[in-house]
Structure 1
């Protein structure tokens, strides 16, 4: 495992990093899972920031990423990205999920961040197969870190044991 990649089990909303990544919906409206936890912990400022983005751009397209301040979170920023809904793999889901990671990492680089934490994007209600999603996440982050020295720590944080075990197995394999 790269010294720059850390795996944790816990609540992403409690991490003190430069940015946490929010698995958002297209309207940046807050919802369930990670999105709901981040909006709740971040307080009403998160909804205000997201509302401003919706007014300016209409929201966030699947695979894209937008940046807000962290509100009441211990992290300075939130990178909101919209993962694909799994529809059997025939609707560019893999490409869109890869874009979530790439675009989030590019925002972190553009804003000179040193640390970022990712949840398990699209594996909850969006139904993306967990192992396939973890493979994509780890591959995209590893490839980014090979060519970009700006990030010092990328954290994968899993809320549940199943995702944690999947990430742990893959990370051990790609050491």
Structure 2
């Protein structure tokens, strides 16, 4: 039900991909920029109509030119050392994304590791928060049948798999 993979989130054929967005929702660097480029100009136009999004929350658009039907734009916190409720805000954006899956009847979803790029959230800590919120939603009866946590590098994949193992989930053998 939860699988850690290395790949390009913009190429996945799932119901929804999650964008590690900024508050404007108008695109940026990293995965946010890649998703906006792959989805085409209609995504930015749709995001402009949403009026932004507060940190710790998420909003949904169509996927446009992506293979995914929807993009869930989740706004994670900028890491400031842990004293500004960053853990709670990161957990909240995963909860908001999972709530949108229920509202829009989404069965398959792919997440990047939110806030770990330019926002500098410690990667292993972010993985733990992400998996905690994903498993919480699934344990509470989420309709989602498959969750992919998509990593950009081999190093990120190894960390995510290590954290997943602490949840008592099987870790696939190395390729």
Whether the TM-score (by the shorter chain) exceeds 0.5 is yes
The alignment of Structure 1 onto Structure 2 pairs a total of residues equal to 168
- Whether the aligned pair in 2 keeps the contact of 1:120 and 1:163 (CA below 8 Å) is no
How far 1:29 sits from its partner (Å)? 1.2
In the TM superposition, structure 1's runs of 4+ consecutive aligned residues that sit over 2 Å from their partners are: none
Once superposed, what is the RMSD of the aligned Cα atoms? 0.7
Structure-2 separation of matches of 1:149 and 1:66 = 18
Residues 1:87 and 2:84 aligned together: no
- Whether the aligned pair in 1 keeps the contact of 2:106 and 2:143 (CA below 8 Å) is yes
Give 1:9's aligned residue.
6
Gaps of 5+ in 2: 170-175
Trace 1:65-144 onto structure 2 (pairs within 5 A): 65-144=58-137
How far 1:148 sits from its partner (Å)? 1.5
Structure-2 separation of matches of 1:85 and 1:123 = 9
Secondary structure of the corresponding residue to residue 151 of structure 1: coil
Normalising by structure 1, report the TM-score: 0.94
Give 1:163's aligned residue.
156
Worse-matched range after superposition: 159-168 or 27-36? 159-168
Give 1:47's aligned residue.
44
Normalising by structure 2, report the TM-score: 0.94
Gaps of 5+ in 1: none
Worse-matched range after superposition: 32-41 or 141-150? 141-150
How far 1:172 sits from its partner (Å)? 2.1
